[in-house]
Amino acid sequence: MLDNLPEWLRTTLGDDFAFWLGYLTNGKHLTWYASVQYTLAAAAFGMLAALVMGLLGAAARNSRLGPLRLLGGLYINSVRGIPDVLFFLFFPLAFEQTVELVRAQAVCTPETLAANVGQWPPCDAANWLLGTTEYLALACVSLGIVYGAFAANVIAGAMNAVPKGQLEAARAFGFTNSEVLWRFHIRQMWIYALPGLSNVWLLLIKATSLLSLLQISDIVLLANRLGAPNFSRSAGLVHPDWRWAYYLVLLVFYILITFVSEKVFAALTRWASRGMSVASPA
Amino acid sequence: MNKLVIAAAAAIALFSTAASAQAVRLATEGAYAPYNFIDDSGKPAGFEIDLGNELCKRAALECTWQTNAWDSIIPNLIAGNYDAIMAGMSITDERKQSIDFTQNYLPADPSYYMVRTGTALDFAALSGKSIGVQGGTIQAGFVAETFGATNTVKAYDTADQALADLSAGNLDVILADASYISEVVTGSAGALERTGPEVKLGNGIGVGLRKADDELEGKLNAAIDAMKTDGSLDDLIVKWFPDKTKPIFATN
Amino acid sequence: MDAILNDIALLARPALFNIYFAFASIPLGFVLAIFFALGKASRNKLIANLCSGYIYAFRGSPFFIQLFMFYSLALAFNLSLWKPLGIDWIVLNPLVLGPAILALNTTAYSAEIFYGALLTVPKGEIEAARAYGMTGAQQFRSVIWPHMIRLAWPAYTNEVVFLFHATALVYFTLPVIGDQQDLMNKAGELYQRDYNAFLHFPVAAAYFLAVSLCIFFVFGLVYRRLTRHMPGAAPMRFRMTRPAR
């Protein structure tokens, strides 16, 4: 990449700067920068999944059916007792095992089963090869389920905060139940839900640092690899342990995302409270 | 990055007009220079990558490379994630219970101890020291057996992590393959040195294959034989391991 | 059933490690948090900004990465600082480093909670205390502190539970020495042996749930004592989320 710079620029910048620029933009580092796509994708789709689960959970919590309320309550409260990393690791494993179990019923012959006694999967044909995309999808669903419980709590509270008078007036006007729900209840709920949801978003974005535990080559794994001391000249630059510097970069990256997220949510809150008679309840 | 390479290679393989080209997925660790590592452009490189590509050319196979962590490299081979392992894996009886090996393409390397320059250790009566090894290697087994009773043995996921802890002062000594140690000692510019006796472990390094894959084993063995007889394997070894001298396999 | 009981027995000792990490970091985190909360509310701009910045940095970044960073930072100073002083076996031991980094993290979250409580202490009472001629320290001891701790307690309980959950990450980043093992390690090891994800992880989860409920109960008792002077005080209302902002 350095060869593309004009000669005069190279001489002004000096050899040291040029060297570091070259080093920080070599293939390995570019791969590291590019892997931030996994973090952002997991955060975006995880948040979407969490919103969906949150709406479902809140609906269950506020439903008229007892068992549904119980289910919703169980869902929301179990998350308070379990670390998110445990569920994050458990869900993909459990899902993969279930799929392979179902497949094994279909494709396993007695010989292949005997060959794999005591191992998993029950027979080689039932193995489900998981690549980065599959793990990413599973991670998004995991994040959605865990943070959906938080979101459900927030949304349930926000649904209760919408002034009842609005809903009564809508019903008096003759709107059907589902129209009241979607056009009035949920639409007006967002302003009350935003502070809580911004909280959920910030927790979720920090949880994306755990993607490397699911064998995804994300920013944390590559930072570890890039920073580890290298003494082999054939493998590239010989350098001591630089991992703390790479992790510091990651730390700053996450702090920046937090900063930007807060600004975005402030803007969203301003937008959502337009025309509202109450000041932002945040 | 690797996925892109694999996808591209797979696409090429699909549209290739070479009717006899069989697609073979090779796996390596990518963290054990100079055997295998990730080069500056982010792709697997090293002695075994060069050797693997050459073997595939001679055996008329379409080869693609994957990296896999050391501790799951054998289970994933058996599960079918890829077809062969070339990751500095020594041929041992214990491993032969679950997978097959081709003949060795590197003779048995002794293992060396490495310490920070200036550390004096008495290997006949080692006690109270912390010894680092890569988990699941022949060195790990040896150290646990010999020194585990009176010393702390720390097992790491990769050899580089053990190296990081050694250079940071968290370990007293590490045991690893001679070629790896030699490379590191040269590159450390005096900070680390080799010490103590040689330890002979393992029966050379070979390609790991599933037990049922006899056809692939035959093809690779034939290619390795060819490279041994015509001297190209020796050339490749000397290129990547400067402290080895010819002849290694060649009989002339 | 037997398998479940067996697992419960196997995971008992690892659970102690998680409990140790949490309770080793609570005292330091609690005390530091009070200082940082007072600092953030201070009229001295420099101190207020420094405390604010610390709280923002530690709340805005993932704990997982904080663990990695402080471990490699401590390692980088090994040959130059800890070894010459002879304390490297203390500093780099996960049983010391783990609670230290946890304490740094919980200080930030707790400080934010205490700061919020500090702002809601009734101003009138503080003015009255000043009018009576109480010094700053006396004001703090008699007026500010009781209000602050009572107002902050429910949120702080939540934070302690989340701290306990965060201990699950310690052995993913710090090296495991000897036969130390926490719940996640052990559950993972048991899984590798028999590939039964549906047995080992739920039992580990049950341990986390059980200890979390204990924390809620014990801290609830403390809250009842803190509000014993209030007529018909509302029971402790638990907030779902660990405040992230």
Chain mean pLDDT for chain A: 86
- Interface size A-C, in CB pairs within 8 Å, comes to 127
Rounded distance, CA C57 to CA A2, Å?
35
CB-nearest to C178 from B152, B165, B170 is: B152
Per CB-CB distance under 8 Å, the chain C contacts of A94 are 197-198, 201
pLDDT value of residue C215:
92
Alpha-carbon distance C63 to nearest alpha carbon in chain B (angstroms): 21
Q: Indicate if the pLDDT at residue C241 is higher than 80.
A: no
Domain assignment of residue B73, yes or no: yes
Alpha-carbon distance C198 to nearest alpha carbon in chain A (angstroms): 7
List C-alpha distances in Å: B192 to A227, A231, B157, B242, C122: 19, 10, 21, 18, 64
Rounded distance, CA C237 to CA B5, Å?
55
pLDDT value of residue C79:
81
Pair B10, B94 in one domain? yes
Pair B92, B141 in one domain? no
User: According to the 3-state scheme, what is the secondary structure of A176-238?
Assistant: CHHHHHHHHHHHHHHHHHHHHHHHHHHHHHHHHHHHHHHCCCCHHHHHHHHHCCECCHHHCCC
pLDDT value of residue B19:
45
For the stretch B32-55, pLDDT in tens is: 888 998 888 888 999 999 999 999
Tell me if C78 and B170 make a contact (CB, 8 A cut-off). Answer: yes
Chain mean pLDDT for chain C: 88
Nearest CA in chain B to C83: B169
Rounded distance, CA B18 to CA B40, Å?
32
Nearest CA in chain B to C88: B170
pLDDT value of residue C244:
53
> Touching check for A148 and chain C: CB below 8 Å?
no
For the stretch C34-91, pLDDT in tens is: 999 999 999 999 999 999 999 999 999 999 999 999 998 988 888 888 888 888 888 8
pLDDT value of residue B17:
44
B166: amino acid identity, one letter: L
Q: CATH number of the domain at B38, please.
A: 3.40.190.10
Instruction: Count Cα neighbours of C104 within 13 Å in the Cβ-side half-sphere.
Output: 19
A26: amino acid identity, one letter: N
Q: Indicate if the pLDDT at residue C112 is higher than 70.
A: yes
Topology of the domain covering A37-220? MetI-like fold (1.10.3720)
Pair B31, B76 in one domain? yes
> Touching check for A263 and chain C: CB below 8 Å?
no
Pair B29, B47 in one domain? yes
CB atoms within 10 A of CB A73: 14
Per CB-CB distance under 8 Å, the chain A contacts of C68 are 220, 224, 243, 247
Nearest CA in chain C to A213: C172
Query: Which residues of A, range 97-156, sit inside 8 Å of B by Cβ?
Result: 119, 121, 124, 127, 129, 131-132
> End-to-end alpha-carbon separation of chain C, Å?
44
Per CB-CB distance under 8 Å, the chain A contacts of B3 are 131-132
Nearest CA in chain A to B164: A229
pLDDT value of residue A280:
47
Q: Indicate if the pLDDT at residue B9 is higher than 70.
A: no
For the stretch A171-200, pLDDT in tens is: 999 999 888 888 888 888 888 888 889 989
Per CB-CB distance under 8 Å, the chain B contacts of A121 are 79
For this complex, say whether ipTM is above 0.90: no
Mutate to test the interface with A, among B4, B35, B39, B99 (most CBs of A within 10 A): B39
Tell me if A225 and B38 make a contact (CB, 8 A cut-off). Answer: yes
Alpha-carbon distance B168 to nearest alpha carbon in chain A (angstroms): 8
Alpha-carbon distance B169 to nearest alpha carbon in chain C (angstroms): 6
Beta-bridge partner residues of B156: B134
Q: Indicate if the pLDDT at residue B210 is higher than 50.
A: yes
Contact between B184 and B192 (Cβ < 8 Å): yes
For the stretch B69-109, pLDDT in tens is: 888 888 888 877 889 999 989 888 888 888 899 998 888 88
A254-258, B2-6, B210-214: range with highest mean pLDDT: A254-258
Tell me if C65 and A247 make a contact (CB, 8 A cut-off). Answer: yes
Q: Indicate if the pLDDT at residue B18 is higher than 50.
A: no
Q: Is the dihedral of CA A48, A51, A54, A59 positive or negative?
A: negative
Pair B193, B218 in one domain? no
pLDDT band at B211 (very low <50, low <70, confident <90, very high): confident
Q: Indicate if the pLDDT at residue C109 is higher than 90.
A: yes
Nearest CA in chain C to B71: C192
Domain count, chain B: 2
Percent of chain B with pLDDT over 70: 90
* Domain boundaries, position B231: 2-107+203-240
Pair B144, B171 in one domain? yes
What is the three-class DSSP state of A121?
coil
Chain mean pLDDT for chain B: 84
> Touching check for B128 and chain C: CB below 8 Å?
no
CB-nearest to A229 from B31, B79, B167 is: B167
Residues C35, C37, C43, C47: what is their CA dihedral angle, to the nearest 10 degrees? Answer: 60
Over residues C185-189, mean pLDDT: 86
> Touching check for A227 and chain C: CB below 8 Å?
yes
pLDDT band at A282 (very low <50, low <70, confident <90, very high): very low
Tell me if B43 and A228 make a contact (CB, 8 A cut-off). Answer: no
Tokens of A187: 């639409």
Contact between B176 and B166 (Cβ < 8 Å): no
Per CB-CB distance under 8 Å, the chain C contacts of A87 are 205
pLDDT value of residue B190:
84
C203 Cβ neighbours under 8 A, 6+ residues apart: C4, C7, C8, C11, C187
What is the three-class DSSP state of A275?
coil
Nearest CA in chain C to B116: C79
Domain ranges of chain A: 37-220
CB-nearest to C79 from B154, B164, B169 is: B169
User: According to the 3-state scheme, what is the secondary structure of chain B?
Assistant: CHHHHHHHHHHHHHHCCCCCCEEEEEEECCEECCCEEECCCCCEECHHHHHHHHHHHHCCEEEEEEECCHHHHHHHHHHCCCCEECCCCECCHHHHCCCEECCCCECCCEEEEEEECCCCCCHHHCCCCEEEEECCCHHHHHHHHHHCCCCEEEEECCHHHHHHHHHHCCCCEEEEEHHHHHHHHHHCCCCEEEEEEEEECCCCECCEECCCCHHHHHHHHHHHHHHHHCCHHHHHHHHHCCCCCCCCCCCC
| Tokens 């494993």, located at residue | A93
Tell me the domains of chain C and their CATH numbers: 2-226 (1.10.3720.10)
Rounded distance, CA A227 to CA A28, Å?
11
Tell me if A220 and C60 make a contact (CB, 8 A cut-off). Answer: no
List C-alpha distances in Å: B155 to B136, B137, B199, C168: 8, 10, 18, 21
Higher pLDDT, C209 or A215: C209
pLDDT value of residue C88:
80
Mutate to test the interface with C, among B119, B170, B172 (most CBs of C within 10 A): B170
Phi and psi at residue A201, in whole multiples of 5°? -60, -45
CB-nearest to C241 from A200, A210, A227 is: A200
Domain assignment of residue B251, yes or no: no
Q: Which residues of A255-279 are buried (b: 16+ CB within 10 A; e: fewer)?
A: bebbeebbeebeeebeebbeeeeee
pLDDT value of residue A128:
81
Neighbours of A, requiring at least 3 CB pairs below 8 Å, are: B, C
Over residues B171-196, mean pLDDT: 87
> Touching check for B169 and chain C: CB below 8 Å?
yes
Mutate to test the interface with C, among A36, A78, A82, A138 (most CBs of C within 10 A): A82
C-alpha R_g of chain A: 25
pLDDT value of residue A278:
59
Q: Indicate if the pLDDT at residue C208 is higher than 50.
A: yes
Q: Indicate if the pLDDT at residue B3 is higher than 70.
A: no
Pair B51, B79 in one domain? yes
Tell me if C177 and B170 make a contact (CB, 8 A cut-off). Answer: no
Rounded distance, CA B194 to CA C12, Å?
43
pLDDT value of residue A127:
78
Alpha-carbon distance A15 to nearest alpha carbon in chain C (angstroms): 27
B22-28 and B61-67 strand pairing: parallel
> Touching check for A30 and chain B: CB below 8 Å?
yes
> Touching check for B164 and chain C: CB below 8 Å?
yes
Pair B120, B51 in one domain? no
